[in-house]
Amino acid sequence: MLGFTPVSWMAFLLLGIATLVHITFVNLVLGFSVIIPITEYLSYRSEDAKLMDVAKRTFKYLILTDLVAGVWGTWITVALAGLWPTLTYIATTVLFVPITVALVGILITIPSIAIYWYTWGKISRRLHLFVGCLMAFGALLVPAGFRMIFAFVDDPVGLSEALKGNLYAIFGNPIYPTWVIWSWVGSLAMSALVAAGIYAWRSRGSENEMSVKETTYFLKLGIPLLVVATVLGVYFFYSLRAVSPYIFAAITGNLTIAQYNFLPVFVLYPILALIACGSGCALFALARKGKLSKSASFVLIIAAFLMVPVAEAVSDASRAPYMVITGDTGLPANAFANTMIPISWSIAELAVTIAVVVMSTFLLGIYFIYRVKTTPVSEEQL
């Protein structure tokens, strides 16, 4: 494989696969963690009990997605420790502050999700909303911290200052603010659209007032946010032209600079955004007439769900074979991967194959659980 040793190839793919799955589900966790308290607040303000039901039902998706995201987050930390010791050492030392910010976010979010659920309807509204705000705040902190790692490997601003002890110099990274805001808006848009699609899909042709209300509510939220997220995404990738010319070359198919062509994957992102926007608008128009379309909701779910991994794959994999980009070249992944032990190509390929099989089994298992959980229990079964 061009520019890779067996260990760095295996490490790159194992970390990449885990990151894709993790970030996809983490976006849903982030989005739902913000949308649910807002929905609860709106239901109190408008005294709309049905909106409260929407919030409660959506919370179950938050728990399921948090489970998946948590599992793959653990995978990432273990993969980093075992496969990328040098990279992790540098990241945890230089990026100590943003990683701590993300850690604080995780530590706030996990217990607040549990407290939010188990105190729903059992404590005062204000106090419950306060817990919800904590949950949303914690969730927003996570990308605010972790996006700095991604920004740093795209453009290692502040490294020399960090080595001298100034750990805040890294915050001068020009792509960091756009990336964080794009992550926030994108996750909200994705979560709202996926939720709208799922509620429309689950009505399965037997539309009722509730399913139409749920779908309309999430589409009203999701479509404008999607437009903003797409603009931010395109702006972000365009800003890489000056900051990370190598990545910009890879995503625009300029093989005089880049070693791999990611243009086809990059083009997929605005196409998916257009499809999501189109199907969302179609569904919204139908919902206003009290109808829902199964096919439009299916297309919406798939398009909205795939947007994040596609955008993530473009921004992450386009660094290959480098791990840290420095202008129109970079520091190769081999320098950061665990090159201190002999691993053959056959072992590396076996490990990646097993990872793909296990990941597929895991996702199928989650789908199966989703199906079992949403299928009513029959008397015979009990």
Partner 1 sequence: MWKALGTTIYLRKVGENGHPSLPHSRFLWLTVGILTIALFIGLYLALQPYPSSSAANAAAAEPMTILGIYVHAFFLSLAVGLPYVVLPLEALGIIRKDKQYTEAARRISVVWAISFGFGAVTGTLVEFGLVQIWSGVLLAIGSFFFIPLVFELFAFLTEVVFLALYLYTWERMKRQWLHWAIGLFLLLGSSASAVLILTANSWMQTPWGTGSLVQAILPWSPVIGPSAVNSTALVTIYKTLPKTGSLVMASPSVISSLGYLLYDPYVVLLNPNAVVTSAHTILTAIVIAAFETAAIFSYSYLRGKRAQSGFFLRTVKFSYGVGALATILTIVSGDQMARIVYSYQYLKFLSMEGFRGGVDPLIGLISNFNPSYVFPGFSDLAATTSKSIDPASATLTISKAEVIMPVLSPLYYAMIASGVLLLVFSVAYLGLYSRRIDQLVRVVVRMTTERFLLYSSFAAAILAIIAGSAGWAVRELGRQPWTIYGLVRPEQLITPNPITPVFSYFIMLVEVMVFGCGIVALYFIPTKSLIEIEKQVEVVRG
Q: Select 28 or 307, whichever has its Cβ closest to partner 1.
A: 28
* Total residues interacting with partner 1, rule: CB under 8 A: 75
Considering only residues 9-38, where is the footprint of partner 1 by CB under 8 A? 14
Q: Select 208 or 361, whichever has its Cβ closest to partner 1.
A: 361
DSSP for 49-92 reads HHHHHHHHHHHHHHHHHHHHHHHHHHHHHHHHHHH-HHHHHHHH
Q: Select 298 or 362, whichever has its Cβ closest to partner 1.
A: 362
Considering only residues 70-129, where is the footprint of partner 1 by CB under 8 A? 70-71, 73-75, 77-83, 85-90, 92-94, 96, 99-100, 103, 106-107, 110-111, 114-115, 118-119, 121-127
Determine, following the binding rule CB under 8 A, whether residue 255 of this chain makes contact with partner 1: no
Considering only residues 125-154, where is the footprint of partner 1 by CB under 8 A? 125-127, 130
Instruction: List the beta bridge partners of residue 332.
Output: 322
Our CA angle for 317, 356, 78, nearest 5°, is: 75
Answer yes or no: are the C-beta atoms of 190 and 28 closer than 8 Å.
yes
Q: Is 124 helix (H, G, I), strand (E, B) or coil?
A: coil
- Phi, psi of 317, rounded to the nearest 5 degrees: -70, -20
Nearest distance in Å: CB 313, partner 1: 21
Determine, following the binding rule CB under 8 A, whether residue 345 of this chain makes contact with partner 1: no
Return all residues near 53 (Cβ < 8 A) that are at least 6 apart. Answer: 210
DSSP for 163-189 reads HTT-TTGGGG-TTHHHHHHHHHHHHHH
Considering only residues 194-213, where is the footprint of partner 1 by CB under 8 A? none
Q: Select 231 or 364, whichever has its Cβ closest to partner 1.
A: 364
Determine, following the binding rule CB under 8 A, whether residue 339 of this chain makes contact with partner 1: yes
Q: Select 301 or 343, whichever has its Cβ closest to partner 1.
A: 343
Cis peptide before 321 (omega within 30 of 0): yes
